[in-house]
Amino acid sequence: MATIAHGDHGHHEESFLEKYIFSQDHKMIARQFLFTGIFWSIVGAAMSVLFRLQLGWPNETFPFLETLLGKWAEGGRISNEFYYSLVTMHGTILVFFVLTAGLSGTFANLLIPYQIGARDMASPFMNMLSYWFFLLAGLLMLFSLFLQTGAASGGWTMYPPLSGIRDAKVNAGSMWGTDLWFFSMSMFIVSSLLGGLNYIATILNLRTKGMTMWRLPLPVWALLFTAILGVLAFPPLLSAALLLEFDRIFDTSFYLSDIVVGGNLLDYKGGSPILYQHLFWFLGHPEVYIIILPAFGITSEVLSVNSRKPVFGYKAMVYAIGIIVLLGFLVWAHHMYMSGMNPFLGSIFTLFTLLIAVPSAVKVFNWLTTIWKGNLRLTPAMMFALGFVSLFISGGLTGLFLGNSAIDIPLHDTYFVVAHFHIVMGVAAFFAMFAGVYHWFPKMFGRYINDTLGYVHFYTTIISAYAIFIPMHFMLSLPRRYYVFSNYQTFNIFEDVSKFISVFAIISFMAQILFVVNIVYSALKGRKFTSENLNPWGSNTLEWTTPAEHIHGNWPGEIPEVYRWPYDYSTGHGNTDFRPQTEPLQEGEDAH
Amino acid sequence: MLNILLTLAVIILFYTVALFLGGIVERVRALKGEELDYTKNNQTHGKLFLIYGVFFLLMFAFSFKYMDFASLPKAASNWGVEIDELFVITAWITGIIFVVTHIALFYFVWKYRGEKDKKATFFAHSSTLELVWTSIPALAMAVLVVMGLKTWFNVFPNKKTLPANQLTIEATGKQFNWMLRYPGPDGVFGRRVLSKEFVSPDNELGIDWTDPASHDDFFASELYMVKGRPVRFNLGALDVLHSFYLPHFRMKMDCVPGVPTGIGFTPTMTDDETRELLKSNSHWASIDPETNEPRYVKFNYELACAELCGKSHYGMMMPAHVVSQSKFEEWTKTQKPFFEVNKDRIQAWLAARNLSAGASKGSNNYAAFNGGDTSKKALKLDSNMTKVEGATHNIADNKATEGKQ
């Protein structure tokens, strides 16, 4: 690729619309994904604050809620119907719009062309479409919040029959709210497929000269596997959504059978709700790896650069991701141990699920060895990457309880599950995303981000996140998705703990607003990233060889050639403690 | 009002201090020209992170003490005890890994915080190390899998042998309560026919009153089980998914419309025995302001719904009890069969259809619980077992009704 002359890229005058709105430039699309993701994370987090108000102070009224929400919070207390819409939307928005599109979309777009040495994606047009379908999906979901019958309220997993019976008597959210949810998800799946195919094609075909697969930086490996997972796992969800819409609109019986509503037997016969769960989790489980793999990649990169040490066991890291991807397709039914499927199946899924702990453990130990005997530069990005390691350990270990089918009998669908997945794929993935934003901020916005606010953001977030989720582990008897629980003498002992959690949820939310303020302020007024110091972190990867200002095609001249792997830090050769990939091997240097 | 103002003040203070601090520090750094020098930050945050780490691990350890009141009393079922043991073993294994890795993390960050003239050690790969930390977790996982599956197959055995004195209870979830059907003195459930003819608002389960076995079945408003007597729940749902959840027994299973499920165990602790245990729990021993008595006095087990089933999902609470066989029999005597209570209405319904009560012998037209396996083979195998309970499988529609006419 390096031999292709640059031509007239970058000199072509773009209109405002081409440059900022219908952009086909990966750097702009990355920012579009980031800002849309930020918008959605604020919406999703604000929803969690609303339902934490209900959970923390179930007996108090907040008059401003009625002003804000009208009939959904009559008397200043969120109604139970709206509560379930909130938890459903919170889950959907954060899992799909923020941690899938926001995380993958931002960093796949930013890093893939930059780090493999490509001028742009294989299909910039498809890349643009991927963003616009994502935006459309988001708008549809947003509209559903304003429906008379309310947004979908069947939980983010949308299990039928609750989501399958289009009857306001059964569930108001199962009217248009659910239709919009599935239409929106269909758009989202299209977006994700367009993006994923493009990422795979780009990584496989557009690597610069010398950039062999074993010289790819780990974020690119992670994003490649993420894209493969997405492309293989999202279509079953599309089919699940279609079949469910058939059940809802044309009264077919894919998922429904023997249903009695208000004493009347409905006509559905022969379907099984468990089928939907299989189809859903066939995506749903790989989905958590779609979220966490880019986080692995970003963490590995940030830890290595800031430790001034090569990432330990580079190939093991890649193999570990590969094995996780493979096993990730064989464990979906561990979400269904208690669903009524054949218990014998549960035993097989237990085996594969606990096997995943092995490559995950390898990754954790490799990260710890990466910082061992390093010369750690504790930038905010590094702090968040370290935080990620802590969170991934904490959340990963509780997975060993839930993955074991026998222990899952009491724990299934309780706060223990909520605590587990919020730590391991919620907060942890967010931490990697923060690390990525802080680390590549100069590259994205041409200015440095304010470090002090970054540190404040870090400590506030990690303390409040643990203050929220550690107590939740001890609420392991309490079923999740309870609007109130004072009617149970078994559960009303959690009232004070619940208040404590709500307070920290609000603190955590405040810290995130600080982060957004920091991004906006620093992007406009921050210290300038100039051509005097194009490689502020002393990094080996190719993105730091591009000019300070964004140009179409990334490199003004030829694309640089690559001679080595990306993790030659502190090798003892050369004048600096890093050896960029563009530097040819010198005598005495080993290739990795 | 004061609370709101105070909260607002705290929020404003947080942002003011943070933004002020951020602005000042950045300006000072710019003036000093040390824009990308992290030497000072490395010192500060290497130490700060270690302090945070110590605080974090201490809080983690203390949380076990603070949250002790919230733990459930000793499991009240045979499998519950076994599951708890497994839980504790897993907690020890993961707890040790958690503490060790976190100590390493916090220590490394402090120990190797960057300094100007220090060099990192180039250490990119070691097959030995990687082999070690692949095989140790693999071994630990093997132990957990074997132990876990042993318990799992105890709870859900492949071999379907019924304990002789088993108490079978049918629990059906609907929005938003539980329907608990006991088979009555004959030990046999009345047949159910899921057809539009039989299912009505008065008879949501579609019980076939022409089956004499249905006449002594009763519905209970509280769940009663017998200590030491195996109990088995045939689970179902009318409208949407529900999940039959007994926290004190560590038991749970989804109730699925159209797919019969079930779960069985042996209760091991009566209400009184658990009440005795709760005396040492700080929460349960405290005085309830409403009754002026310690809370444990009013303790009973509870049945909850654990699968989101609509807007009042949280309201599906039903008290549960474990009593001695004699007390259970006493209680049974107080329960009136549904047929008796509604005799006039049912007789009128039957007369209108030219049927007579207790005249027919037939079979269910739906599959009863067979361990959760819905494959045809399993259903066929399982029919031998359910005959013991007096119900045979017949998926074909309405055979029962045809037979009678």
Same-domain status, B212 and B76:
no
Q: In whole numbers, what is the pLDDT of chain B averaged over residues?
A: 85
- Cα–Cα dist B146/A109, whole Å: 44
- Cα nearest neighbour of B12 on chain A: A510
Categorize the per-residue pLDDT at B379 as very low, low, confident or very high, splitting at 50, 70 and 90: very low
* Residues of chain A neighbouring B94 (CB-CB closer than 8 A): 397-398, 400-401
Domain housing B19: 1-37
In chain B, the number of structural domains is 3
Cα–Cα separations (whole angstroms), residue B270 to B74, B169, B229, B283, B321: 12, 18, 12, 20, 7
Q: What is the DSSP letter of B314?
A: G
In percent, the amount of chain A with pLDDT more than 70 equals 98
Predicted local confidence at residue B116, as pLDDT: 86
- Cα–Cα dist B137/A43, whole Å: 40
* Residues of chain A neighbouring B26 (CB-CB closer than 8 A): 450-452, 527
- Cα–Cα dist A373/A555, whole Å: 35
- Cα nearest neighbour of A454 on chain B: B22
Cβ partners under 8 Å of residue B306, min gap 6: A338, A412, A413, A414, A479, B243, B244, B245, B252
Q: Which is nearest to A570 in space by CA: A385, A431, A402, A371?
A: A371
- Spell B114-147 as b/e; 16+ CB within 10 A means b: beeeeebebbbbeeebbeebbeebeebbeebbeb
CATH number, domain with residue B393: 2.60.40.420
Tell whether A386 lies on the interface with B, counting CB pairs under 8 A. yes
- Cα nearest neighbour of B69 on chain A: A493
Predicted local confidence at residue B380, as pLDDT: 40
Tell whether B33 lies on the interface with A, counting CB pairs under 8 A. no
Residue B382 has pLDDT above 80, yes or no: no
Tell whether A80 lies on the interface with B, counting CB pairs under 8 A. yes
Q: Partners of B219 in the beta sheet? A: B181
Q: What string of DSSP letters covers A323-359?
A: HHHHHHTT-GGGG-TTTTS-HHHHHHHHHHHHHTHHH
What is the average per-residue pLDDT within A526-530? 88
Tell whether A72 lies on the interface with B, counting CB pairs under 8 A. no
Same-domain status, B11 and B86:
no
Q: What is the DSSP letter of B335?
A: P
* Residues of chain A neighbouring B133 (CB-CB closer than 8 A): 361-362, 365
What is the average per-residue pLDDT within A406-412? 96
Asked if A401 lies within 8 A of B26 by C-beta distance, the reply is no
Same-domain status, A345 and A445:
yes
Note whether residue A513 is domain-resident.
yes
Residue B372 has pLDDT above 50, yes or no: no
- Cα–Cα dist A339/A335, whole Å: 8
Token readout for B339 is 């047929």
Asked if A479 lies within 8 A of B56 by C-beta distance, the reply is no
Return the residue in A402, A452, A501 with the most chain B beta carbons within 10 A, the one to mutate for interface testing: A452
Same-domain status, B257 and B347:
yes
Same-domain status, A415 and A492:
yes
Note whether residue B121 is domain-resident.
no
Same-domain status, A515 and A546:
no
Predicted local confidence at residue B354, as pLDDT: 80
Note whether residue B123 is domain-resident.
no
Q: Pairing mode, if any, of strands B223-226 and B231-237?
A: unpaired
What is the average per-residue pLDDT within A224-252? 94
- Cα–Cα dist B156/B143, whole Å: 20
* Residues of chain A neighbouring B105 (CB-CB closer than 8 A): 368, 371, 386, 389-390, 393
* Residues A76-100: tens digit of each pLDDT: 899 999 999 999 999 999 999 999 9
Same-domain status, B151 and B171:
no
Q: Closest to B87 (Cβ–Cβ): which among A401, A451, A567?
A: A401
Asked if B18 lies within 8 A of A406 by C-beta distance, the reply is no
In chain A, the number of structural domains is 3
Predicted local confidence at residue A392, as pLDDT: 97
Note whether residue B161 is domain-resident.
no
Q: Which residue has the higher pLDDT, B160 or A106?
A: A106
Asked if B311 lies within 8 A of A171 by C-beta distance, the reply is yes
In percent, the amount of chain B with pLDDT more than 70 equals 86
Asked if A570 lies within 8 A of B98 by C-beta distance, the reply is no
Cβ partners under 8 Å of residue A572, min gap 6: B122
Note whether residue A346 is domain-resident.
yes
Same-domain status, A512 and A545:
no
Residue B399 has pLDDT above 50, yes or no: no
- Cα nearest neighbour of A398 on chain B: B94
The distance of B405 to chain A (nearest Cα, Å) reads: 22
Q: Which is nearest to B243 in space by CA: A165, A273, A473, A169?
A: A273
Same-domain status, A174 and A162:
yes
| A24 phi, psi to nearest 5 deg | -115, 10
* Residues of chain A neighbouring B30 (CB-CB closer than 8 A): 527
Token readout for A498 is 């619940």
* Residues of chain B neighbouring A483 (CB-CB closer than 8 A): 311, 313-314
The H or E element that residue B262 is part of is: strand B261-265
Asked if B112 lies within 8 A of A256 by C-beta distance, the reply is no
Asked if A452 lies within 8 A of B26 by C-beta distance, the reply is yes
Q: Which is nearest to B236 in space by CA: B244, B225, B245?
A: B244
Same-domain status, A35 and A171:
yes
Categorize the per-residue pLDDT at B151 as very low, low, confident or very high, splitting at 50, 70 and 90: very high
* Residues of chain A neighbouring B36 (CB-CB closer than 8 A): 533, 536
Same-domain status, B151 and B176:
no
* Residues of chain B neighbouring A346 (CB-CB closer than 8 A): 152, 156
Find residues 201-220 of chain B whose CB sits inside 8 Å of chain A.
201-204, 206
Same-domain status, B149 and B177:
no
CATH number, domain with residue B146: 1.10.287
- Cα–Cα dist A133/A144, whole Å: 17
Predicted local confidence at residue B205, as pLDDT: 93
Tell whether B379 lies on the interface with A, counting CB pairs under 8 A. no
Residue B404 has pLDDT above 50, yes or no: no
Find residues 322-361 of chain B whose CB sits inside 8 Å of chain A.
none
- Cα–Cα dist B311/A302, whole Å: 45
The distance of B383 to chain A (nearest Cα, Å) reads: 16
Predicted local confidence at residue B362, as pLDDT: 55
Categorize the per-residue pLDDT at B34 as very low, low, confident or very high, splitting at 50, 70 and 90: low
* Residues B256-296: tens digit of each pLDDT: 999 999 999 999 999 999 999 999 988 999 998 888 999 99
What is the average per-residue pLDDT within A120-149? 94
The distance of B334 to chain A (nearest Cα, Å) reads: 26
Q: Closest to B145 (Cβ–Cβ): which among A84, A354, A513?
A: A354
- Cα nearest neighbour of B259 on chain A: A272
* Residues of chain B neighbouring A463 (CB-CB closer than 8 A): 52
Asked if residues A566 and A581 have their Cβ atoms less than 8 Å apart, the reply is: yes
Burial class (CB in 10 A: 0-12, 13-18, 19+), A148: exposed
* Residues A362-384: tens digit of each pLDDT: 999 999 999 999 999 999 999 99
Tell whether A508 lies on the interface with B, counting CB pairs under 8 A. no
Asked if B253 lies within 8 A of A340 by C-beta distance, the reply is yes
Asked if residues A338 and A271 have their Cβ atoms less than 8 Å apart, the reply is: no
- Greatest Cα-to-Cα distance within chain B, rounded to the nearest angstrom: 100
Tell whether B125 lies on the interface with A, counting CB pairs under 8 A. yes
Cβ partners under 8 Å of residue B97, min gap 6: A393, A397
Same-domain status, A517 and A534:
no
What is the average per-residue pLDDT within A492-507? 94
The distance of B212 to chain A (nearest Cα, Å) reads: 23
- Cα nearest neighbour of A271 on chain B: B258
Same-domain status, A240 and A183:
yes
Note whether residue B44 is domain-resident.
no
Same-domain status, B384 and B289:
yes
* Residues of chain A neighbouring B192 (CB-CB closer than 8 A): none
Helix A273-307 and helix A314-328, axial crossing angle in degrees, nearest 10 = 170
Domain housing A93: 28-42+80-271
Predicted local confidence at residue B105, as pLDDT: 97
Asked if residues A289 and A328 have their Cβ atoms less than 8 Å apart, the reply is: yes
| B235 phi, psi to nearest 5 deg | -105, 145
Q: Closest to A260 (Cβ–Cβ): which among B69, B239, B261?
A: B239
- Cα–Cα dist A207/A562, whole Å: 10
Note whether residue B67 is domain-resident.
yes
Same-domain status, B360 and B330:
yes
Same-domain status, B5 and B27:
yes
The residue to which tokens 């607003």 are assigned: A513
Token readout for B247 is 């926290």
Count residue pairs from A and B with Cβ separation < 8 A. Answer: 399
* Residues B318-342: tens digit of each pLDDT: 999 999 999 999 999 999 999 999 9
Cβ partners under 8 Å of residue A399, min gap 6: A353, A357, A420, A424
Note whether residue A19 is domain-resident.
no
Asked if residues B217 and B43 have their Cβ atoms less than 8 Å apart, the reply is: no
Same-domain status, B265 and B364:
yes
Note whether residue A49 is domain-resident.
no
- Cα–Cα dist A117/A7, whole Å: 17
Note whether residue A244 is domain-resident.
yes
Same-domain status, A134 and A238:
yes
Same-domain status, B336 and B194:
yes
Categorize the per-residue pLDDT at A3 as very low, low, confident or very high, splitting at 50, 70 and 90: very low
Cα–Cα separations (whole angstroms), residue B155 to A343, A348, B270: 9, 16, 21
Last residue of a domain, one of A271, A299, A321: A271
Same-domain status, A563 and A550:
yes
Find residues 8-67 of chain A whose CB sits inside 8 Å of chain B.
none
Predicted local confidence at residue B7, as pLDDT: 82
Tell whether A155 lies on the interface with B, counting CB pairs under 8 A. yes
Same-domain status, B313 and B199:
yes
Asked if A378 lies within 8 A of B174 by C-beta distance, the reply is no
- Cα–Cα dist A217/A177, whole Å: 42
* Residues of chain B neighbouring A475 (CB-CB closer than 8 A): 70
Note whether residue A63 is domain-resident.
no
Tell whether A535 lies on the interface with B, counting CB pairs under 8 A. no
Same-domain status, A264 and A326:
no
CA A227, A233, A235 angle in degrees (round to 5)?
110
| B253 phi, psi to nearest 5 deg | -160, 140
Return the residue in A365, A367, A579, A590 with the most chain B beta carbons within 10 A, the one to mutate for interface testing: A365
Residue B160 has pLDDT above 70, yes or no: no
Sign of the CA dihedral with A53 first, then A54, A58, and A60 last? positive
Note whether residue B119 is domain-resident.
no
Predicted local confidence at residue A11, as pLDDT: 52
The distance of B191 to chain A (nearest Cα, Å) reads: 16
Q: Closest to A412 (Cβ–Cβ): which among B90, B124, B252?
A: B252
Residue A540 has pLDDT above 90, yes or no: yes
Note whether residue B218 is domain-resident.
yes
Note whether residue A17 is domain-resident.
no
Note whether residue B162 is domain-resident.
no
Same-domain status, A397 and A476:
yes
Note whether residue A417 is domain-resident.
yes
